[in-house]
Amino acid sequence: MIIAAFLFIKGLNEEILHQTADTAIYLVEHIYIF
pLDDT digits (tens, 9 = 90+) for 9-28: 999 999 999 999 999 999 88
pLDDT of residue 34: 57
Give pTM, 2 decimals: 0.56
Q: How far apart are CA 10 and CA 26, in angstroms?
A: 24
Which ranges in the chain belong to alpha helices (H)? 2-33
Q: How far apart are CA 5 and CA 2, in angstroms?
A: 5
pLDDT bin (cut points 50, 70, 90) of residue 2 is confident
Q: How far apart are CA 2 and CA 17, in angstroms?
A: 22
